[in-house]
A and B are shown apart, each in its own frame.
Chain A
């Protein structure tokens, strides 16, 4: 929606008997374009008291897609927002609160916006109410941002891709007009704190997937060598994939077509810190390292993260040399860094969540933009 100011009939207009004045248009007010914290190299993008998380850049680098819990919807839907590249008011939102979905909680965990408005997104629909946190439907859709609910179903989850069970998708990235890469995950809704009011979901990484949209629907394959990836990024001009793994301080790389993983670098972390996301541009990657401890609390094999002690850092890792460099040190949780495709800016989620590892209903997080973090 493009804000349009009200046009008055000008003198030139009045001089002509045959031109219509534009005074039939709706009143539109522009949203605020400058934020209260926009000064300085680190810009806080969101102030939502609920969760804002999992940012990703649009293909053209002009916007930042992210998930957020909509404060105005009683159902606590998780929606997609689109922020301008430098921050400001969201310019587009997708929130499925249609009447037919009123009995559901809807979540959009993965999304990618192409240059021409092609929108890939995953929608998970769960029945509202206690004990109904497992999505009844999880679907990968192809649509246009202008008409997001006039859509083509590409995939229904869970599914099996070349023998690997995949229940969830994350971090979709367009690699061409009809091709994309995504992270396949498992989905585990069981809470580690069964008597807590909060509802948790954990997302154990499974494998990186490549998708191709064909006439009949979708062709999915796994990228060999990426099994167990907890986050990934296209790297080296899209020819390779860099990825992290849970409880592993190394950054790995495989060709886009798959192969044996190569540990590019080892990030020196204190305590039980984890790598909570990677993003690469060319041969330079940014990883987030956080003081997170993974624990099998219930002894049921489900590993839950918890915040430990230690520094939170954004580090640069060279795929060419393996050199690791601290870019920013801060407190709390910083996760899922994403490098702008057109600048050296990096967007990341700060606070509350554990990147791609887990979401917790009541844990607030926001997005921050680190201007010029990379040259």
Chain B
């Protein structure tokens, strides 16, 4: 065996789920006589040397439930027949694997007897879910470094939107335990806590009628399974960065991972991981360099101040059998994500800038009841308790003091975070003493007091905490050979605390520099709860499979309303069903399901904004918000064209209803209120072609054609259908016409090629090289054209579209032997072609850049606000602008060129463009 093959084997072992993994699946099959094809009863079916055991019935069929996810051995014995054995049968969590067998009588000599045939998972009619799975091995082989990036590669996913819906409409499940950020999933990420990729065994994305077991979602479920400790100590240590590159290619990337798992004593298994990553240029862009030679980015367009990210994660998991049928697990995960946030307003401020920090903690306990080895109608399942806490804070921070790369080695200090945590809205109506009034920066290339601030933040202070204690019971009962019954429930007690203050350098009610009045601080502290109960049955008759279930979701907002009445609770009944069968060698699945999720809790509480254009400065929350819901119909076809490849086609029709939107009560935007008002429709088709690994090479191509419409795009948008008659002030509600949704990506194509150059390749440096390339093509997202000042629509809402986007990512890995250890070096390159993808445009011009008229308009406004001469001794004095050399820059002729240049600098389209080519080098040691 070559080194590369050994390494591949080790990698596959690492990728495989160890015994006792918490994800379980089933194994079914039929055993027949090889010479007569008659069923054989009483065949002993032993999995993993008898750890799981059953016998075939009179029809020759058997079924084992609750097998841990991973690879297992299967042995068949029956007196008079030749014993048969298969070593690597893969069990996938939530799926049923079929392994049929033909056994030869001892007296009969059959030269080419296929003893055990594992049912093709592609064609298995019992697999009714539209599921896209990523295993740990694939995560390692693909150019991805985060869970989100891996999910983003799947069909139907666009920037957190699943099948055209809004971000946050999916649930995230970690080892069967819901960890959704219900506070602000739609705007701040769906996961309550960051999950280190090296901890993951597999990730499944389900986008159709997912099991009734899952709630809190209306567009999909992300199911993450983490590793258990193995029987032997092993692990991975890796470090990667882009430091060998120079200039614009060096984005200051560093990532360090140490993961290890193994036994502690005879029974206890442990997994631990530390994952640190940072990036100095945290939000790189392919924006072209400014043309003005005085602009500091004209010669070095890559470095952005106050734009770095730093993430720390640490996790520990203990697994121990508590009895012959009960396995206990304790899992703890702590993360900190902090970022210095680039804002063009503060690009010339060396001391202050905006920043944010998110701290997450998760503790879970899991008691897994394994199925009895021989019962024909077993009951088994999982009991889970857990607690997670997520704290988020954003505001003004001091300039970072980096110790190593992007690592500051200290928690980000947000100005007056302690005040925010006290949630005292009375005391903080006065100007917060630590906040300085924004000053126009004087150290810009243009000098003039305009656009750029210094020595003070924006006055924003935002803090919130979301915690949840959840208990969850999931049981499976086997009802004979053909029916499984799933049932269970969950209850989660939540705590929400929020505090927001904007323009904190001003007292409440003062005239804000940007116009309007400074809004009061907002705060909340309440205890909502969610609950759920479900029952689902899955039955199989020959090649016909049925799945039917119903889930009841409950949501109690907690607390009382303005008149001290307890807020009403909400319930929703969600039936789901699927039928599947094989016709002419293809598997057809038809499914429908109704789904509901409680609204983001952020919409229940009052909010303060510093935005006078669309949302107003103050938004009253609505504690009476109810469920958002969806109904989805889907028809799927799965077929194999040839051995080793498959085609899946999914056609879906999803109807969203009751999504949260802002409805104005009168013409004042500050009067708008969150209500369940939005509706949406998503119709689409996904085509996924996959050529499984053949001679070490495989291909996967997925394409999506989709049309997504809604009445608004997010909860902060004013509900477009309500109009106020300017004469009568009556509210006029038109028919609910739908516009293309912000995430209405009409066409998306992703192609993956993975493989390994043969180890016998003559050019040795390339022998055994693992190669993975991923190409993306996306049609442009819609946007709405407006006038230059943003108060008038030009054309239809979302009537324009961004240019198409494309990218190619590449991962090359060369396995190496490093002393006693296996390891490797790798190059991970994203956007290899350095394509300048436009991710947005200016709404007034439809182009990245502001037009000349806009530049002149805002420059003139800035000049008129500060027409004062600039004397020589002022730090604002720029010799080149003093045309007459009298020591004073005065008058329009001398000042306006500076204001115009400053306006062009300020409006330079930096984040209109997506990330550039990112290359990182890494080495790893496997032990």
Residues on A lying within 8 angstroms of B by beta carbon are: 1, 3-4, 6, 8-11, 13-14, 16-21, 23-32, 34-37, 44-49, 52, 71-72, 81, 83, 87-91, 97-100, 102
A28-B350, A48-B871 are contacts. A20–B406 as well, Cβ < 8 Å?
yes
A91 to B250 Cα, complex, angstroms: 34
Assess whether A89 is in contact with B885, with CB atoms less than 8 Å apart. Answer: no
A83 to B246 Cα, complex, angstroms: 39
A90-B874, A99-B505 are contacts. A6–B296 as well, Cβ < 8 Å?
yes
Assess whether A8 is in contact with B247, with CB atoms less than 8 Å apart. Answer: yes
0 or 1 for each of B422-445: is its CB under 8 Å from A? (1 = yes): 000000000101001100101111
Residues of B within 8 A of A47 (CB): 871-873, 886-888
Assess whether B280 is in contact with A26, with CB atoms less than 8 Å apart. Answer: no
With A1-B350, A21-B250 known, 20 other A-B pairs at CB within 8 A are A9-B246, A13-B243, A18-B243, A21-B252, A23-B281, A23-B303, A24-B281, A26-B350, A28-B443, A31-B877, A32-B877, A34-B879, A35-B873, A46-B872, A52-B873, A87-B873, A88-B873, A89-B873, A89-B875, A90-B873
Question: CB within 8 A of A72: which of B243, B402, B866, B887?
Answer: B866
Assess whether B879 is in contact with A71, with CB atoms less than 8 Å apart. Answer: no
Residues of B within 8 A of A81 (CB): 873
Residues of B within 8 A of A32 (CB): 872, 877-879
Residues of B within 8 A of A34 (CB): 879
> In angstroms, how far is the closest chain A Cβ from the Cβ of B419?
16
Chain B residues numbered 516-536 whose CB sits less than 8 Å from any CB in chain A: none
Assess whether A99 is in contact with B510, with CB atoms less than 8 Å apart. Answer: yes
A17-B244, A20-B404 are contacts. A27–B296 as well, Cβ < 8 Å?
yes
Closest 7 CB pairs of A and B: A23-B303, A47-B871, A47-B887, A26-B305, A26-B350, A71-B868, A14-B246
> Which residue of the partner chain A has the closest CB to B882?
A36
Assess whether A17 is in contact with B246, with CB atoms less than 8 Å apart. Answer: no
A4 to B296 Cα, complex, angstroms: 12
Assess whether B347 is in contact with A27, with CB atoms less than 8 Å apart. Answer: yes
A97 to B296 Cα, complex, angstroms: 30
B869 contacts the other chain (CB 8 A): yes
Residues of A within 8 A of B871 (CB): 46-49, 71
A83 to B877 Cα, complex, angstroms: 14
A24-B303, A26-B347 are contacts. A49–B869 as well, Cβ < 8 Å?
yes
Question: CB within 8 A of A24: which of B308, B346, B869, B875?
Answer: B308
A295 to B302 Cα, complex, angstroms: 66
B775 contacts the other chain (CB 8 A): no
Residues of A within 8 A of B437 (CB): 97-99
> In angstroms, how far is the closest chain A Cβ from the Cβ of B244?
6
A37 to B300 Cα, complex, angstroms: 34
Residues of B within 8 A of A19 (CB): 243
> Which residue of the partner chain A has the closest CB to B877?
A32
> Which residue of the partner chain B has the closest CB to A37?
B887
A3 to B296 Cα, complex, angstroms: 13
A170 to B405 Cα, complex, angstroms: 50
Question: CB within 8 A of A21: which of B280, B440, B445, B872?
Answer: B280
Residues of B within 8 A of A97 (CB): 437
Residues on B lying within 8 angstroms of A by beta carbon are: 241, 243-247, 250, 252, 280-281, 294, 296-297, 300, 302-308, 340, 346-351, 353, 399-400, 402, 404-406, 431, 433, 436-437, 440, 442-445, 447, 449, 505-507, 510, 866, 868-869, 871-879, 882, 885-888, 890
Residues of B within 8 A of A88 (CB): 873
A52 to B873 Cα, complex, angstroms: 11
> Which residue of the partner chain B has the closest CB to A34?
B879
Assess whether B886 is in contact with A36, with CB atoms less than 8 Å apart. Answer: yes
> In angstroms, how far is the closest chain A Cβ from the Cβ of B508?
12
> In angstroms, how far is the closest chain B Cβ from the Cβ of A147?
11
Question: CB within 8 A of A25: which of B302, B350, B510, B876?
Answer: B350
A26-B348, A26-B399 are contacts. A98–B436 as well, Cβ < 8 Å?
yes
Question: CB within 8 A of B305: which of A11, A24, A87?
Answer: A24
> In angstroms, how far is the closest chain A Cβ from the Cβ of B746?
38
> In angstroms, how far is the closest chain B Cβ from the Cβ of A10?
8
A3-B443, A25-B350 are contacts. A20–B402 as well, Cβ < 8 Å?
yes
Residue pairs across A and B with CB atoms within 8 Å: the count is: 167
Residues of B within 8 A of A98 (CB): 436-437, 505
Residues of B within 8 A of A36 (CB): 872, 879, 882, 885-887
Chain A residues touching B, majority SS:
loop
Assess whether B348 is in contact with A9, with CB atoms less than 8 Å apart. Answer: no
> Which residue of the partner chain A has the closest CB to B404?
A20
A28 to B442 Cα, complex, angstroms: 9
A59 to B908 Cα, complex, angstroms: 45
> In angstroms, how far is the closest chain A Cβ from the Cβ of B876?
8
12 A-B Cβ contacts within 8 A? A8-B300, A8-B303, A10-B246, A26-B348, A27-B296, A27-B348, A37-B872, A37-B887, A49-B888, A49-B890, A81-B873, A99-B431
Assess whether B873 is in contact with A13, with CB atoms less than 8 Å apart. Answer: no
> In angstroms, how far is the closest chain A Cβ from the Cβ of B259?
21
Assess whether A24 is in contact with B244, with CB atoms less than 8 Å apart. Answer: no
A24-B306, A24-B340, A37-B887 are contacts. A13–B246 as well, Cβ < 8 Å?
yes
Question: CB within 8 A of B348: which of A11, A13, A28?
Answer: A28
> In angstroms, how far is the closest chain B Cβ from the Cβ of A340?
17
A307 to B400 Cα, complex, angstroms: 55
Assess whether B350 is in contact with A48, with CB atoms less than 8 Å apart. Answer: no
Among B431, B436, B507, B868, max chain A CB count under 10 A is at: B868
Assess whether B510 is in contact with A23, with CB atoms less than 8 Å apart. Answer: no
A6 to B294 Cα, complex, angstroms: 13
Question: CB within 8 A of A4: which of B308, B350, B405, B505?
Answer: B350
Assess whether A24 is in contact with B307, with CB atoms less than 8 Å apart. Answer: yes
Assess whether B404 is in contact with A23, with CB atoms less than 8 Å apart. Answer: no
A20 to B308 Cα, complex, angstroms: 12
A27-B296, A71-B868, A72-B868 are contacts. A89–B280 as well, Cβ < 8 Å?
no
> Which residue of the partner chain A has the closest CB to B307?
A24
Residues of A within 8 A of B404 (CB): 18, 20
Assess whether A72 is in contact with B449, with CB atoms less than 8 Å apart. Answer: yes
> In angstroms, how far is the closest chain A Cβ from the Cβ of B477?
57
> In angstroms, how far is the closest chain B Cβ from the Cβ of A153?
16
A101 to B887 Cα, complex, angstroms: 32
Residues of B within 8 A of A21 (CB): 250, 252, 280, 303
A23-B302, A26-B306 are contacts. A89–B402 as well, Cβ < 8 Å?
no
Assess whether B305 is in contact with A25, with CB atoms less than 8 Å apart. Answer: yes
A81 to B297 Cα, complex, angstroms: 31
> In angstroms, how far is the closest chain B Cβ from the Cβ of A321?
38
Assess whether B244 is in contact with A14, with CB atoms less than 8 Å apart. Answer: yes
Residues of A within 8 A of B350 (CB): 1, 4, 25-26, 28
Assess whether B243 is in contact with A14, with CB atoms less than 8 Å apart. Answer: yes
> Which residue of the partner chain B has the closest CB to A8?
B300
Assess whether B246 is in contact with A11, with CB atoms less than 8 Å apart. Answer: yes
Assess whether B406 is in contact with A24, with CB atoms less than 8 Å apart. Answer: yes
Residues of B within 8 A of A10 (CB): 246
A267 to B791 Cα, complex, angstroms: 71
A83 to B873 Cα, complex, angstroms: 8
A98 to B439 Cα, complex, angstroms: 10
Residues of A within 8 A of B400 (CB): 24
> Which residue of the partner chain B has the closest CB to A23?
B303
Assess whether B300 is in contact with A6, with CB atoms less than 8 Å apart. Answer: yes
A14 to B506 Cα, complex, angstroms: 46
Question: CB within 8 A of B252: which of A18, A24, A52, A89?
Answer: A24
Among A4, A25, A32, A49, max chain B CB count under 10 A is at: A32
Assess whether A48 is in contact with B431, with CB atoms less than 8 Å apart. Answer: no
A90 to B873 Cα, complex, angstroms: 6
> Which residue of the partner chain B has the closest CB to A20?
B405
Assess whether B877 is in contact with A89, with CB atoms less than 8 Å apart. Answer: yes
A312 to B292 Cα, complex, angstroms: 48
Residues of A within 8 A of B876 (CB): 31
A17 to B445 Cα, complex, angstroms: 33
> In angstroms, how far is the closest chain B Cβ from the Cβ of A250?
35
Question: CB within 8 A of A99: which of B280, B297, B506?
Answer: B506
Residues of B within 8 A of A91 (CB): 875
